[in-house]
Each structure stands twice: as C-alpha cells, then as structure tokens.
Amino acid sequence: MNHLRRLGNTVSIPIKADEDGFTGRECLNASCEGYFKIEFGTGLKGEGLPCHCPYCGHTEGHDHFWTKEQIEYAKSVAMRKITDSFHKDLKKLEFDHKPRGAFGIGISMKVKPGRPTPIHYYREQKLETEVVCANCTLRYSIYGVFAFCPDCGQHNSLQILDKNIEVVGKMLDLAAEAHADLAQKLIENALEDCVSAFDGFGRELCRVHANKASNPGKAEKVSFQNLEGAKTKVSSLFGHDLSAQLAPDEWRAANRGFQKRHVVAHKMGVVDQEYVDKTGDPNATVGRKIVITEEDVRSTVVVVRKIARGFAGYIVTTKQGDGVMSVNGGDNG
C-alpha cells in the first residue's frame, strides 16, 4: 500500500484565486454566512492573522472562512487522490495463476479502472464593490457598499464617504465648464449627492455602533439629511456633539447647504418660510427660487467631511456603555 501510505494523514489541496486575484471567503456565523473575496498577499503582513467578516465583524482564523463550494471541491479532490492511490496499490496485487494440469483451476485478479471520483468544480461569485482598505491596503470585494476590512477590521464608512464626495467634486468641476442651465442642474445634483453620501455614512455608523447608544433601536433610524435634527439625536443617543469641532459659521453654512438641498428635493427649488426660519438666509425670499452656487456645495463638502471624521473618531473609540450611558453611570457613582 505504498501509494496510499505516501499520501499520509493530510492531503493539502490548493485553492486557486479567481481571474481577478481574489479568493472567496464565507462567514461561518450562522446568522450571517456572508460571502466576500480577498486578495491574499495584500493588506497586513504576518502569519496567523485573524480574518474579520466584512458584514457582521465576526473574527476567526483564515482557515475558518472556506466557502461551502471550496470545501466540496477540496473534499472531491482529496477523494480522487485517495481512490487513485488505492487503485494503484491494488493494481500491484494483480496476479494470474494459470491452471495446471488437465483439471487444474486457474485464479487471477485483474484490477479494472473504475469510474474516477468526480471533481466538484466551482466558480467564485461576482461581487458588487471592490475596496482597497485605506488603513492596511488589503484588496477585497463585497456585496453592497459598507464593510469591515477583513484584515485590519477597520470599517470603510469614511472611505466610502470620501469616494462619494470625490464624485461630488468632479460634478462641480464639470459644472464649471458646462452651459448655465446644465451647470445649475449639476450643482443641485452635486449638493443632493453630498447630502445622500453623508446620510448613508451616518446611518451606517449608527447601525454598526448601535450597541453603544442609549437606545439601539432608535440609533438605527437616525436620518442625517437634516443636520440640526441629526445633531440633536446623535447628542442624546451617543453623547456626541456633531458641531463640536466646527466654527459657528462653518456649522451654519453646512446647515444652510442641507436646507437648500431640502428645498430642491421637496419644494421644486422654491424658497418657503420654513427654509427662511431654519437658516436665516438673508439672500432668500419666500416664493422665489433658491440660489445654489458651486461655492455653497464646496463649503458644505468641507464641513461634512469634518463632521464625519469627528463623529467616526468619537464613536469608534467609544466602548459599549461609554458616552451617554456613562453620564448616567456617573450619577450612581
């Protein structure tokens, strides 16, 4: 049984990367089972580093993240190797004793090739967003947009916000070159996209860190399309002031930008009393069209990035039970 013996107790099966260099991974957390891909060799260097599920954050060694398909493939390849070796070993035992004399009985054993064990081939799935982690440079691919980096565990919400804001900047550049009517539309859309990007960012941050809020259920429902509203809610849920690192006119300018977006999105771009009350905009007249300049959007973008960084920096370092909760805890102590 030399062939079989040579296989030893372990059979190692290489799992190849797909045509883009990615290897599929699957979360073993039963309530997640999320599928994602990473490019081995990018990201953190070192042996035995853990892997973080980009969707649920579950952390475990890389050898726990094989996909069901990869396991089926590996099993079938191993099975094939074993049966092939077994077959070769049996083949060596073949014999053929010819009958002797007139009434002798001949005995022979011939090993015929059987059907080989079928290999369970698979293809890695196509995913929706490719990310290069801004922190550790791991290249990974996911469904949806937001994720934890599988290598360093850092959430990509700021990175996605920056990416979207980069596009906002490009729209404004385009507007500077375009015809007046198209330019106006581009500027309005850029403002809309800036607000949406911030809303998406804020919601995701609250969702991921909901367990740190005084009311996790409410934390997952905070809208960031209205800055003042978001400020009030974030303050009461997480104990963080969104305007903390801003000069008063920076906050005012961003708030005005967000209110202008509201007028464009919900009032056909016509100023109403609510807008005037909320912003105190001296250039706005009720019943007239709102004026949005490239500069309005650019300054809103700058402030949005500051607010986002302040909030992310605060919430990432806050532990569950800190922040708002510890203020209450402090009363007891």
Q: Which of these ranges, 105-113, 134-142, 227-235, 256-264, lies near Zn ion under the rule CB under 5 A?
A: 134-142
Check if the beta carbon of residue 94 is closer than 8 Å to that of residue 111: yes
Cβ of residue 125: shortest distance to Zn ion, in angstroms?
16
- Does the footprint of Zn ion cover residue 193 (CB under 5 A)? no
Q: Which long-range contacts (CB under 8 A, 24 or more apart) does 144-147 make?
A: 144/55, 145/200, 146/200, 146/204, 146/208, 147/36, 147/54, 147/55
Q: Which of these ranges, 99-107, 109-117, 148-156, 273-281, lies near Zn ion under the rule CB under 5 A?
A: 148-156
- Cβ-based neighbour number of residue 141 at 10 Å: 25
Cβ of residue 63: shortest distance to Zn ion, in angstroms?
16
- Does the footprint of Zn ion cover residue 151 (CB under 5 A)? yes
- Does the footprint of Zn ion cover residue 135 (CB under 5 A)? yes
Closest CA to 28 of 2, 57, 3, 6: 57
Cβ of residue 296: shortest distance to Zn ion, in angstroms?
35
Nearer to Zn ion, 54 or 239 (CB): 54
When binding is defined by CB under 5 A, the residue of 24, 27, 194, 230 that contacts Zn ion is 27
Query: How far is residue 312's CA from residue 166's CA, in Å, rounded to a whole number?
Result: 19
**Structure-block tokens of residue 244:** 């903390």
Nearer to Zn ion, 35 or 314 (CB): 35
- Does the footprint of Zn ion cover residue 132 (CB under 5 A)? no
Write out the binding residues for Zn ion, residues 40-99 only, by CB under 5 A: 53, 55-56, 58
Query: How far is residue 32's CA from residue 45's CA, in Å, rounded to a whole number?
Result: 27
Query: How far is residue 220's CA from residue 204's CA, in Å, rounded to a whole number?
Result: 8
Spatial CB neighbours of 73, under 8 Å, sequence gap ≥ 6: 13, 15, 119, 120, 121, 122
Query: How far is residue 39's CA from residue 280's CA, in Å, rounded to a whole number?
Result: 52
- Does the footprint of Zn ion cover residue 32 (CB under 5 A)? yes
Q: How far is CA 23 from the centre of its chain?
A: 16
Cβ of residue 62: shortest distance to Zn ion, in angstroms?
14
Determine the size of the site formed for Zn ion (CB under 5 A).
15
- Does the footprint of Zn ion cover residue 301 (CB under 5 A)? no
Closest CA to 261 of 200, 165, 197, 195: 195
Q: Which of these ranges, 136-144, 156-164, 199-207, 276-284, lies near Zn ion under the rule CB under 5 A?
A: 136-144
Closest CA to 22 of 125, 157, 120: 125
- Does the footprint of Zn ion cover residue 152 (CB under 5 A)? yes
Q: Which of these ranges, 64-72, 137-145, 281-289, 298-306, lies near Zn ion under the rule CB under 5 A?
A: 137-145
- Does the footprint of Zn ion cover residue 133 (CB under 5 A)? yes
What is the secondary structure of 144-178 as a DSSP string? SS--B-TTT--B-HHHHHHHHHHHHHHHHHHHHHS
Cβ of residue 217: shortest distance to Zn ion, in angstroms?
22
When binding is defined by CB under 5 A, the residue of 24, 25, 34, 171 that contacts Zn ion is 34
Site residues for Zn ion per CB under 5 A? 27, 29, 32, 34, 53, 55-56, 58, 133, 135-136, 138, 149, 151-152
